[in-house]
Chains A and B, each alone.
Chain A
Amino acid sequence: MDGIIEIITQFVAQEPAIFALIIGIIGALVLSAVVNVGAMLVIWADRKVMSDFCNRFGPNRVGGRWGILQLGADAIKLFTKEDVIPAGVDKGVYVWAPIIASAGTMLVAAAIPFGALHIGGKDYPLVVANMDISAFYVEAALSIMSIAVFMAGYSSNNKYSILGGFRGVARMIAYEVPMGVCVISVAVMAHSLNLVEIVQSQTIWYAFAQPLGFIIFIIALVTDLGRVPFDQSEAEEEIICGYSTEYSGIRWGLLYFQEYNNFLLGSILMSLLFLGGWNGPIIPIPLLDIISPMIWLLMKVIIVIWFIILIRASLFRLRIDQVTDLGWKWMLPLSLVNLGWAVIIGSYFA
């Protein structure tokens, strides 16, 4: 008589589609765990680095001197809080908004290479779905967040929320376009829309090859993340908490987490597109040489994150009309100029 393991193995062997599904589910769990833990670290860094800029200590009680477990404590608190759905909300939309936000973020994560392993003189990129159009796909999936923001703002039946939702959508549309054009400019130079190939083709960093595009991309990225000076959709001093005013507990936690997931993924995307990704000299030490591409990428990502936090500590918030003006009147034309530049330079060196 066969054991249960054998039955499963036989069944899986007969049905390869199921096998792929199980692998897929395990992969998705691992991916979301990695991204969310990464986002937790980003939140911790945001608070801690921010405090450093402000000459404060920041979290310093839970988890020792560095407050490293503070986020764990916060997450437990959020999970165990009462789940409040206010009486006046559009319940279906209200409930689905955080879920769509999470799903959108995970769609982005699926196509982003988190680095590469250097084995036997060859780079093996760590990417879940290595698509031919991954740069384009990532750009599109990033916009799903704006739908979730609008759903949350609209369904909350709250004046602050609806204003936050409007502001969020107006801002994101104004900046998705120049951001997309910047991604296209990079693709033109790399002759590929595949993020892995874009990284591999960067003998010179695209930040130097197209500095204008680099600047526009980082501004558009900060806008997309909704951080100061572009945090109009949740400007605390004007509209309380914007679109997430009526959310509490774990639903609020999900919305909050997605911002930081996007922060992490956006910083990785930035490093991949413009800062040479995992390219760099291989460290000639056994074992370290395998992960040395990841070390390079990690260092670049940390610098990008640090820079965006520094922006938050030092700049004022723009008004919403100034933001959209800047987006449509300056960023879009300039990004088109950059596209022209990329076409000329790209075709000359190709």
Chain B
Amino acid sequence: MTNASEVLSSIQSAFPGAVLDSRVESDSRLWATIDSKKILDVCKYMTAKLNFDHYSGSAGVDWIARKEMEVVEIMASHGAHQVVAMLKVKTPRDNPSVKSMTGLYWNAGWYEREIWEMLGINFEGHPELYPLLLSDPLVGAWPWRKDYKGYPDLTTGERAVAITTSEGYTEYTFPPTPAEIEAGTVVTEHPKYPTFREREEREIKSDSEMIMHLGPQHAMVPGPFLLDILVEGERVKKAFLDVGYIHKGIEKIMENRTWLQGITYTDRMCYVASLSNNECYCGAVEKILGLEVPERAQYIRVILEELSRIQSHLIGTGEFLTLIAGVGFAPWQYMIMDREKVISLIESVTGARLTHTFVRFGGVRNDLPEGFADQCRKVLPYMKSRTEEFIELFAQDPIYHARMENIGSISAETAKRMGCAGRVLRAAGVAYDMRREDPILVYPELDFDIVTGTRGDSADRIDCTLREILQSIRIIEQCLDKIPSGPIRTEVKIPKKIPAGEAYYRVEDPRGEMGMYVISDGGDKPYRVKVRGPFYATFQTLTPLLEGVYIADAVAIAGSMDGCPSESDR
């Protein structure tokens, strides 16, 4: 088994002088500052020699006091070892520019586009450095820089000026006032790039092709995003994805709220998985503080997170089934009904149906209510029998197999290379689960299997999801047997100002690997919170999967990923 210090010494011996600064936090966390000239070589070496085949994303940090910016590359491995290497690359703040990873890792594209549009860090060699989440007028304002002054309030509409376009539509623009230009709150110089529409229209090669919009408002989308498909007849030739329709800027908001207030914002990232999001944020802060969570609190967290996984899987599967069967499909209603039982269980503990804000630094908000274990033991066998029934139902259905088998299939190699997460990755046959890879809480003491598929197609994804529910039930049953009595919150008083430090914490969200990179500068607010969303990672793979399929299959593929654009956009 490789550990972090071995990785570090291996890099140091291969590239003398490349590691400017390093810190081995634990066996599985390595923090290193790499010379920006050598970062590509180091990453190439790590992937080839040290099994770091999982590029897990990157984060940009604006260190305004030090007059420099930092790009943190998060490198991990798909099961070969458990080390997560956080490689930092520094660049001057005046003209920030680092080398792009897109040549090495396919999935680096989106992460770098986001850093570029938010912080203005240029990526040399990125083939399509277009904005991802922001709308065009905001590009150039670099809103996540620490000296960003805010954008003028345009919501009143009083300042809108109507312009008639050449096609006869009316569009509204907001010309800046001289005072705003003076204050520097408006963007006067926009970077030049082709817009989304120009990019997709230049792909139209003949008259028989047309672009169809699936979204942002469409019966297919689980939340607002724009999926444009270039079709010829019934065949999809190319797909274009535009996200950012539900971009809430949660990472930036959290920088302006106290540490405790931040928990409520993690709820809103994905409301069907809010407990995992809570856990991820609180876990990262606990790591900075070096807190030990009492055992009872750990069990309570595990129980609730697994319950929330069950309900998330049920609604994700049910919603997807309506996409290929129509809204009148009865099993969808049955799934919602069953989910209601689970939600009531969670509600009896947290007091809320979806946005719980239940996890606290060093514990949980309140203890389990009287009789919760009995209620759970009543519901779980029922859920188990129902889930088995669903699995059997779909296994028998010939139309289900005709629609889903070999649709959108990804091989294990491709899934790893594209950095997919969660069910998409596991359906392809890669047993990669954060509960095993980066064990937190009491997961190491629990007995459960990681469900994997073989073909990696839509049918496998649904099958994996349903079988994961059975595993979650197993976990909860064990927890109910083992849960000790004791305090539910640590006795250490949580300070208002968290000491300076940084942590990267990973949990297994219902949609896959979720990570949060939290930096504290010793203040009462986080300096930077970077969320590595699981659906964000999977979402990128959608467009290549859609090439050459039928329109109906495009829906079957997009739906089978159990999307949550809200979490992807943050």
Contacts and interface: CB of A to CB of B under 8 A. Distances in A.
Interface of A: 50, 53-56, 159-160, 163, 166-167, 228-229, 231-232, 235-240, 312-322
9 tightest A-B contacts by CB?
Answer: A54-B333, A313-B330, A316-B325, A316-B399, A319-B552, A237-B323, A237-B219, A54-B330, A236-B219
B329 A236 contact: no
Given A320-B550, A321-B234, A321-B550, A236 B327 contact: yes
Contacts of A163: 212, 234, 551
Main secondary structure on chain A at its contact with chain B? helix
Main secondary structure on chain B at its contact with chain A? helix
A231 B322 CA distance: 13
B397 interface: yes
Given A316-B399, A320-B550, A237 B330 contact: no
A316 B403 contact: yes
Nearest to A234: B326
Contacts, number: 87
A159 B399 contact: no
A318 B403 contact: yes
B373 interface: no
Given A229-B325, A322-B403, 19 more contacts: A163-B212, A228-B326, A231-B326, A236-B326, A237-B219, A237-B324, A238-B554, A238-B555, A313-B328, A313-B330, A314-B330, A315-B325, A316-B321, A316-B329, A316-B403, A317-B324, A317-B325, A320-B550, A321-B234
B65 interface: no
Contact of B218 (A53, A56, A240, A318): A240
Contacts of B271: none
Contacts of A239: 551
Contacts of A319: 402-403, 550, 552-553
15 contacts: A54-B328, A54-B332, A55-B334, A167-B234, A228-B329, A235-B552, A238-B554, A240-B219, A312-B328, A313-B328, A317-B325, A317-B403, A318-B402, A319-B403, A319-B552
Interface residues of B, number: 32
A329 B218 CA distance: 34
B15 to A, nearest CB: 52
Contacts of A232: 552
Contacts of A321: 234, 550
Interface of B: 210, 212, 218-220, 233-234, 321-330, 332-334, 337, 397, 399-400, 402-403, 550-555
A159 B210 contact: yes
B322 A237 contact: yes
A344 B512 CA distance: 62
Contacts of B330: 53-55, 313-314
Nearest to B556: A319
Considering residues B234, B552, B554, which has the most beta carbons from chain A within 10 angstroms of its beta carbon? B552
Nearest to B329: A313
A163 B550 CA distance: 12
B334 to A, nearest CB: 7
B116 to A, nearest CB: 33
